[in-house]
């Protein structure tokens, strides 16, 4: 595994998207981000230094280091694991009732009538976190409506399921990014 440091162009792209989505910039000071075949890994600063100081033979045998937080393509796409770690702020979140929680974990979309509340900053077609009543992240979805109307659409689909915690069990499709 060749964990190389991100060049400034890719770093800017990733963190512009991340800052826009999550509203943070402080992670750059605390974590080291590395790129390997289009996959972005987040390492502690100490682990980043340790990887840099490894002999080349050991680096070649390295399989993973840190947490895979996303993939870089045309745009930056977060993995479910990266989203869980990075979603500490109360932004881009939709909270659903218990029935919707179960259905979402089985891969179903979220109906407007199942939404208890939202974070208030959601625009149409935004990527959002779907959370249960206690704030646990169930997965990532795509909002069909803005915050102002998302809870008022009755029996219409309000959030499309992109990826959820249950997908790992259903399809064993690990490390997808959306």
pLDDT in tens, 83-142: 776 666 677 899 999 999 999 999 999 999 999 999 888 999 988 999 999 988 899 899
Domains of the chain: 4-86 (3.10.450.220), 93-171 (2.30.130.10)
Confidence at 42, pLDDT banded by 50, 70, 90: confident
The more confidently predicted of residues 28 and 163 is: 163
Confidence at 25, pLDDT banded by 50, 70, 90: low
Confidence at 143, pLDDT banded by 50, 70, 90: very high
What is the pLDDT, as a whole number, of residue 144? Answer: 94
Q: Is 1 exposed, middle or buried (0-12, 13-18, 19+ CB in 10 A)?
A: middle
The more confidently predicted of residues 9 and 103 is: 103
Does this model's pTM top 0.85? My answer is: no
């Amino acid at each position: 595994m060749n964990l190389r440091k991100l060049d400034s162009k890719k770093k800017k792209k990733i963190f512009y998207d991340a800052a826009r989505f999550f509203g943070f910039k402080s992670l750059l000071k605390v974590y080291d981000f590395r790129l390997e075949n289009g996959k972005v890994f987040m390492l502690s600063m100490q682990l980043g230094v340790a990887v840099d100081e490894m002999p080349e033979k050991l680096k070649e045998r390295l399989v993973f280091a840190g947490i895979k937080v996303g993939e870089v393509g045309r745009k930056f796409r977060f993995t479910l694991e990266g989203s869980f770690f990075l979603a500490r702020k109360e932004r881009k979140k939709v909270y659903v009732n218990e029935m919707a929680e179960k259905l979402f974990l089985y891969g179903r979309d979220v109906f407007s009538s199942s939404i208890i509340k939202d974070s208030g900053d959601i625009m149409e077609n935004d990527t959002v976190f779907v959370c249960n009543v206690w704030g646990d992240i169930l997965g990532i979805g795509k909002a069909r409506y803005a915050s102002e109307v998302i809870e008022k659409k009755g029996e219409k689909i309000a959030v499309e399921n992109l990826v959820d915690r249950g997908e790992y069990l259903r399809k064993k499709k690990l490390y997808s990014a959306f």
